[in-house]
Structure formats: structure tokens, C-alpha cells
Structure 1
């Protein structure tokens, strides 16, 4: 689709599923955790929780499936499985090309629900850190997506107001966060920039 960024001064990219093709790895880690702890693995539902920190997803699993599993144990298991395969992470060509094109033209930020260590590993592995001005991860905010805090802090750190920024996201949770922040959003679907959603 045609992407028009002329009216924005800042571009905020989600990381997993938007800039990097890591969602299959996260889902595999959840699948292995589901097998280990004997809970239902719902791939589509889990994908749409993208942007929510691991512990938060564990709590949501309990609520959705009316279980009483230890969220900390689920989160530790998922992170351990993910860490075993995270080196397989790869860039998403379309959004990465856009990020490269915007160098020197716009303020660039990453706003992710991943924890600090995972974010650092992925951005260093793919050499993305030098390409952005600011990174906000799950450790930087108390309220996570679908709350707006991640994107609001990213805008603040690049010195812009929400209406001067646009978000690139791939999940319903991320879109909700962008809308709550008062920002326009481009949705990435199947590794392609596919849909524009204006702020409410």
C-alpha cells in the first residue's frame, strides 16, 4: 500500500512482528510452554497479545482458560524456550527498508513490549540500534500495551507530541495502544504494510 509520512516528524516502530520476524519464535516458545504445563495453545489469540509482556500474557492465559497456573513459572519457561531459539530472528524486509529510507529525515523510535534483555539482544543481533534515536521497552513503563504509555514515552523521548508521530504495529493490542496514545497507525499484516488506521 502507499505509505505517506510527510505530515509526521516522528515514526515509532513496534519491534516483534513489525520490524523483526520474531513472532513465530515467540509462538513456538509459548507452544512448548503449553505442552510443558498442559494448557491450551491458541496461536491466533497469543499472536494478538503481541506487545503485552510475558508475565502479563501468563496472567491472561489463566483468566482466559480459568486456570490457576503460576504466572512466574509460565513466564520463566517461555523466556527459556525463546532464548534457545532467539538467534533465528530475522528482519522484515519492507519495514526495515522504510526504516533505512527515513534515516536523517525523521525522528525514529522503537516502542516494544519485550523486556530489556530480549530487546537488547534482538536489536544488537540485527544491528538496528544505530538506526533509531530512542528505544522504549517493557522495563521502561509501568502500564503496557494496550495502554498508551510505551508510545507516549517514545514520543516524549524524541521531543514530539503524539499528533506529530505515527506508529507501525502488527497486533490488535499494539493498535489499541497507538489509538489510546492519539496516534495514527499503519498495520503490518503478514510482514507487509497493509492498512492505515487514523487516530480516533
Structure 2
């Protein structure tokens, strides 16, 4: 699959943590109450998941004709997140197992996410996973978030490794576009059939992290 695997860069939401329903359950009441917009979880996965706040606000304005601002949605969503307790967010299946295997094989690990460091610390800290990662590229560390390749370019700069020896693990078209734009091999992981078509930029599309582990170590 890859001649020499030296490092793996993980996305967070929907890849290592099963957070999309958490975000949906906090956004949908705001959209319903403030704007009369009813969205389903399928709508969330199809149109909102994996995107930044700025992009989602822009999409609400352009696609739904909703007049709102980033400042307003930031305040409202953060208020709901605080009430909901992010420590209830579960890990994706086999998340701990793949991190443990990679660490045992001395593969360098980092996190590249559009979430903020507070979210990373809260959720991964709760699950005792922070220690697996050498560093974290979070939203506040870059000017341009995914799908711009900047987060992955920064990560590769820090790693100082050949890009051909680095694999990115993602779950959305946004993340895959960023990883491929940085010249990395990208493995997409999704349990949603509706998302497979959007992940065409990925080098591989798999169903869960157990399958990813099998692919990464197929020749070991």
C-alpha cells in the first residue's frame, strides 16, 4: 500500500470520535427555533458534516436563504455544546486499537482537525488518547481550514518526512481534498453509504478503523 509508513495523520470528528450526532443534536434545535429550518441527521451528514463554521453559515445563507452570522452561530452552538457535555461523545469503533498498534510499531502520530484545541482536549482527554499524538493541528493554528491543504502542509512541515511516507485518515470529502492537496496518501473511512460517492479523491475507502489497520499492516 505504501512503501514505507513513517507517520499517520488523523482527522478527529467522524474519524476518531463519533461526534456527528452530537453536533447535529446541538445545531438542529437552533436552526428550528431561530429560523424555522428542520433538518434531519441525513441532511447534517450530507451537507454540514466535516465543514467549518464559516462554510456552514455561508451554506445556510446561500442554500436556505437564512440571514445569520458566524458570530451568532458561534455563540449559540457553543452555549449548546457547554450544556450537552462533550465527554459523552464516544470513540469510533477500533479507535483505541489502531492508535495502540501504530504506537507499538513506532509510527509517528498527529491530529489534523478543523475543531478547536478545547474540543480535542475535552474529548480525547476524557478517553485518555492525548498521549498518542506528537502534536495537534487545530483550527486556531491555521489561517485556512480544510478543504484547503494548509493544515496538512503544516503537519508535514513539522514531521519533516517525505510526503510519500505519510498517510492521512479522513471521513469527509473536505478532509480528503485537503490531504490530497498536500500530496498525501488518503484513506477515507465512512459508515454512511451516501458519503462514498463524495470520497472519490481518496486513495482508499474503507468501512471502519479495523479495516484501516489491516490495510496499513497488510505486508507486516
Per the normalisation by structure 1, the TM-score is: 0.86
- On the 8 A contact 1:50/1:174 being kept in 2, the answer is no
CA drift of 1:162 comes to 2.7
Ranges in structure 2 where 5+ consecutive residues have no aligned partner? 205-220
Distance change >3 Å, CA 58–CA 161, structure 1 → 2: farther
**Structure with the bigger percentage of helix:** 2
CA drift of 1:41 comes to 2.4
- On the 8 A contact 1:148/1:178 being kept in 2, the answer is yes
Match of 1:47?
A: 45
Q: What are the Cα deviations for residues 110-137 of structure 1, in whole angstroms up to 9, with x where unaligned? A: 1011022222211211111101111110
3-state secondary structure, aligned to 1:108:
strand
Aligned residues: 194
Distance change >3 Å, CA 78–CA 158, structure 1 → 2: same
Match of 1:101?
A: 101
Question: Could you tell me how far apart the structure 1 residues matched to 2:153 and 2:41 are?
Answer: 29
Distance change >3 Å, CA 65–CA 162, structure 1 → 2: farther
- On the 8 A contact 1:30/1:41 being kept in 2, the answer is no
CA drift of 1:172 comes to 1.3
Q: What are the Cα deviations for residues 127-167 of structure 1, in whole angstroms up to 9, with x where unaligned? A: 11101111110001010111111111122222224322111
3-state secondary structure, aligned to 1:166:
strand
Please, which of 18, 22, 39 is the counterpart of residue 21 of structure 1? 18
Q: Which has the larger radius of gyration?
A: 2
3-state secondary structure, aligned to 1:93:
coil
CA drift of 1:5 comes to 5.8
Match of 2:214?
A: none
The answer to whether structure 1 residue 150 and structure 2 residue 151 are counterparts is yes
Match of 1:91?
A: 91
Distance change >3 Å, CA 106–CA 74, structure 1 → 2: same
Question: Could you tell me how far apart the structure 1 residues matched to 2:120 and 2:53 are?
Answer: 13
- On the 8 A contact 2:21/2:41 being kept in 1, the answer is no
Match of 2:210?
A: none
Question: Could you tell me how far apart the structure 1 residues matched to 2:162 and 2:144 are?
Answer: 19
- On the 8 A contact 2:3/2:165 being kept in 1, the answer is no
Match of 2:8?
A: 11
- On the 8 A contact 2:171/2:190 being kept in 1, the answer is yes
Distance change >3 Å, CA 9–CA 124, structure 1 → 2: same
CA drift of 1:52 comes to 2.8
